[in-house]
Structure 1
């Protein structure tokens, strides 16, 4: 028995699976691929302007639901009524969504670079016998383009569930992560960890009975580019961190960390808590 096999036997796979979000978690530092395309889709379909800040508010939802949620923001609704004489309805959402999908399919490749040490972290988990799941607010049509590009970068999760793969797949409902549980053959949801950069994604993990880890600096709420993150001083990073913490704390994650690079120490802590008999 080699050292890795011995370690797997000794630890008895207490943590069975980690289920990751995609944009802002594993790829696309700052989660810019979906947000910038929402801005563009509103503009191209209706010559209607939304801000990047408004586009970020419902991040984590399925994209049709995301558009609907943006339309319900007071600031957006007021401008929409002024421009069109009524609030946004489902037909409007359908049109924007149909405009969004081809734009997103083109742009998602440009934002497929893995975040920081993501590939090494994931591969180390695999070596420990931990299964790698994933789910996303992207529809399958977008994922079919993103998956092979991510694979070229070295990211190959054991399971991938898109928001439209299931009849009731949208976050914050737990169905996408539970589909991961089934497909990965996990024996206990309490032995799973959901890692995400959005409140719907963290709530999704809670609703499935999992441990939850929120990412503060690599995702949607901080909204930093990788270059801004690299160049920021301690004060700037702490301001971004606090901005994200205020929002993500509303979903009560078990842990909040800066990026996926900080995940291994959290897994060690969760494993100790599981060994002590704690549950999420």
Structure 2
């Protein structure tokens, strides 16, 4: 039974796209003449903000820029100066980015109805968070306790100290009845370290990193692509569950409390010829719709065609590759039917199973002369036998073999 939820702040409950820390960090560094790419900042969001500054300043290229701009100040002095400037910048930004994310008010009402306690942990300091709490309260979000690393001897994420502190203050025993919700890898690591149930939030989170208007302006296919990337990162970090938005957490809590699986039961491993079983990564990518006339799709198609010519070691001046959709047998038939002349050539086929036999049947159907070299289904085709057969049949310029015979299992 779920007894408590511990939320993150920026990117999870407020500040769609987790914009405030990015803006403040960039402005703080820019004030000292140093430009830090957004991606570098986002990579470590969720850390205590002083630790975050230290991590950025630990990068050799950033240190080189600092020494170039401020040769008389040490790196430790740089950390102090930039962190102080960040504290000033973040206060100004927070007032503009503390809008609650969609679904939070409904989730809070659900928690209150069911007696589920809720608290927060954050990478912000108590002073920074002090500017956000009253703004959130006016919108209906008032966590029972808000924990910063100021309350845990400076120990923040990815360590579990803040989460464990929140549990203690709420009087909740047993981390398996607590859900930790966040939008960053460090949120998930914090929850895992405390042995809580970890839930990653995708939409409006740091890993997508767009404002709501920017995200809504994208095509559905692009949105799905970004969400799938974020899901993969959160799952690789160890998230027990990943949800699109906060309102989805209501159904997840209900499922956990009734011992139901939130995710569908995994599909069985298919042993039929194909193979047909695909990995979760492949399945997720297949959820993204692609338009065959999109420039990106056309570019991918041309790249595959050129790669096939390179694989065949032929020039695009004399050959072209045409992509055709169909089964493996379809591909084999199209290759034999177009690559082997019917009148003037002989095809040798090394047969060690059903697909080799099918090659012979295709050759018969297409009136292509062929010499068959037979092996047992459980026997590896022997190169020495094949070479002797080729030497004995100098009229053979074409050779076919099944790289991996499916029927062997």
Do these two structures clear the TM 0.5 threshold for a shared fold by scoring above it?
A: yes
| One of 12, 18, 21 as aligned partner of 1:25 | 12
Taking structure 1 as reference, are residues 244 and 22 closer, same or farther at Cα in structure 2, changes over 3 Å only? same
Structure 2 alignment gaps of length 5 or more: 262-409
| One of 156, 175, 192 as aligned partner of 2:142 | 156
Once the two structures are TM-superposed, the CA of residue 246 in structure 1 deviates from its matched residue by: 3.5
Corresponding residue SS for 1:267: helix
Corresponding residue SS for 2:20: helix
Contact 1:71 1:88 in 2 (8 A): no
Taking structure 1 as reference, are residues 184 and 85 closer, same or farther at Cα in structure 2, changes over 3 Å only? same
| One of 58, 74, 87 as aligned partner of 1:101 | 87
Once the two structures are TM-superposed, the CA of residue 217 in structure 1 deviates from its matched residue by: 2.1
Q: Counterpart of 1:67? A: 53
Contact 2:63 2:75 in 1 (8 A): no
Q: Distance in 1 between matches of 2:74 and 2:200?
A: 32
Q: Distance in 1 between matches of 2:209 and 2:73?
A: 28
Contact 2:17 2:210 in 1 (8 A): yes
Once the two structures are TM-superposed, the CA of residue 140 in structure 1 deviates from its matched residue by: 0.4
Q: Counterpart of 2:256? A: 270
Alignment root-mean-square deviation, CA: 2.1
Matched, 1:124 2:110: yes
Once the two structures are TM-superposed, the CA of residue 78 in structure 1 deviates from its matched residue by: 5.4
Once the two structures are TM-superposed, the CA of residue 269 in structure 1 deviates from its matched residue by: 2.5
Q: Counterpart of 1:53? A: 39
Corresponding residue SS for 1:187: coil
Contact 1:217 1:224 in 2 (8 A): no
Q: Distance in 1 between matches of 2:72 and 2:181?
A: 39
Name the structure, 1 or 2, with higher relative contact order (CA <8 Å, separation 6+): 1
Once the two structures are TM-superposed, the CA of residue 257 in structure 1 deviates from its matched residue by: 1.4
Contact 2:47 2:186 in 1 (8 A): yes
Aligned length: 261
Q: Distance in 2 between matches of 1:190 and 1:262?
A: 20
In terms of mean alpha carbon deviation, does 245-254 or 31-40 score higher? Answer: 245-254
Corresponding residue SS for 2:150: coil
Taking structure 1 as reference, are residues 78 and 252 closer, same or farther at Cα in structure 2, changes over 3 Å only? farther
Once the two structures are TM-superposed, the CA of residue 190 in structure 1 deviates from its matched residue by: 1.0
Taking structure 1 as reference, are residues 260 and 74 closer, same or farther at Cα in structure 2, changes over 3 Å only? farther
Structure 1 alignment gaps of length 5 or more: 1-13, 276-280
Contact 1:17 1:131 in 2 (8 A): yes
Q: Distance in 2 between matches of 1:271 and 1:157?
A: 22
Once the two structures are TM-superposed, the CA of residue 73 in structure 1 deviates from its matched residue by: 4.0
Q: How big is each residue's C-alpha offset from its partner over 1:173-205, in whole Å with a ceiling of 9 and x where there is no partner?
A: 111111110111102211000000111111101
Q: Counterpart of 2:2? A: 15
Q: Counterpart of 1:10? A: none
